[in-house]
Structure 1
Amino acid sequence: MNYTPGNPHRARKRFGQNFLIDHTIIQQIARSVSPKAGEIIVEIGPGQGALTEPLAERAETLHVIELDRDLVPWLKVRFEKHPGFRLHQTDALKFDFAQLAEADKPLRIVGNLPYNISTPLIFHLISYADQVKDMHFMLQKEVVKRLAAAPGEKAYGRLSVMVQYYCQVNWLFDVPPGSFDPAPKVDSAIVRLAPYKTLPHPARNIKTLEKLVTAAFGQRRKTLRNALKTWLGAEQLEGLPVDITKRAEALSLADFVALSDAIDDRLNEGP
């Protein structure tokens, strides 16, 4: 959410609103996105339009998605002068982003995501990875740590593995609480997620990979063998391509995919 003078709208806790008021940070985000001619920019949660302004000045087409209906009339009045501006009053978690993409113009998505929906919204957006060039998000710093974490790090988990399966993750810069009104009780950070055109480690069955990663990190203090015991029989647990005496946080994305493919083979074996 973003703030600009002249709009008396107060941030609403139920929408997770914290309006961005630091103009240095606003410009830094706009420079990181750097819209080019012919691109389709999508901003989630424009709020009071502080980031929307520099994006609208640079973007040929700018779609904004705002849930708070009280902000919609004000946003329309403020930005209707931009011919490429389109406003959608809806919930981003339920929005079909594919309708905005064009064959030769993949989407570039920007947003200051409310902390309470950031993870489910990221997974929702990843489902449109084929139509997205990149995504720049303001998130709680702890969430960015999880997105960017490597094997062996405390923050490494399901979110790390599944987002890194689809996207290159770049932690760009941090944003202090004082950059917002009201100031949140946590630090924030800007991250860039760029979906791969060709997956570096494609899994044979994505559902098996998702189930494996969820099971492995659901019991992260236990070994993989313990996490898999209710899924595979004793014989099926032998000879897997990954050492299942390790814990989940020790496995790389490539390890998880290799293990997922092997499990998928064993689950599909005949009697």
Structure 2
Amino acid sequence: MDADSGREAWRTKWDLPRSEDGYLVTYVAGVVGRTAIVVSHGEYRYPVTYGIDLVTHKETWSDTSFKAQLVQGTRVLGQRRGGEDVLTLAAVDGASGRALWTGMEVPDESGAGQGWTVKAFAPNRVWVAAPFGRAVIDSATGKDVNYEGFGERLHEIEKCVDDQLRTTFCAARTVKGAEISAYDRSGKRLWRVGGPSDDSGRKQMILRSAFHGAVYATFNEGTGAAIVLDGATGADKATDSGYAPLLANTYVGLTYGGGRQVDVYRATR
């Protein structure tokens, strides 16, 4: 689509494997340079990843055993089908599809390559979400990076958000409530609020989003009271914001209004 007009700029087609699946899911996982990374899978067919040249509109590479989930720089990270019922974390070069590394393994309980979720954690870091908020991985090497609280059965990481400045914030479910923690780029935990370490009474902190040093959360399961935390200290920055955006950037914050409604709020300093 043309970004200015919203009109279709071009379209292209390529062959997918034959399948008897009742439905087919195809999506763009990201873009590396001039190559779009596209994933296609069915209900029972393992995902196939394609590299589509955005200039020639042609397929340049494909991988029938790799499910792309995240693009970070020139690398594409996702799951590679290994032995029987096993998935391996892996990375390929986005421009060529060349394998770069393979990492941890998890069982493929679904049998269709739906093992876990790989999400951005920070520049050159990714978060493997299951089980128990399993680990933070260096996307260049595939090696674990030590972050306190990850992979603990009694401290399950449920969500992480990079504020796109210098800090990543994670929400965890613990045996004594839900908490939010802040991590710097070196892996040091800076602060935590909610959960067993918080004596303020806010035992159910729910992380919504974060951007440039502001952390948006709710802390009361009954009323969903919204709060803004200072990303540097965890201290209250605003306790009467009225809403906690699910997405935020320099210009706006977006919330889900129910049904098909999205509410848009102008950003303030």
TM-score for the superposition, normalised by structure 2: 0.26
- Greater relative contact order structure (CA < 8 Å, 6+ sep): 1
Kindly indicate which of the two structures has a greater share of residues assigned to strand.
Answer: 2
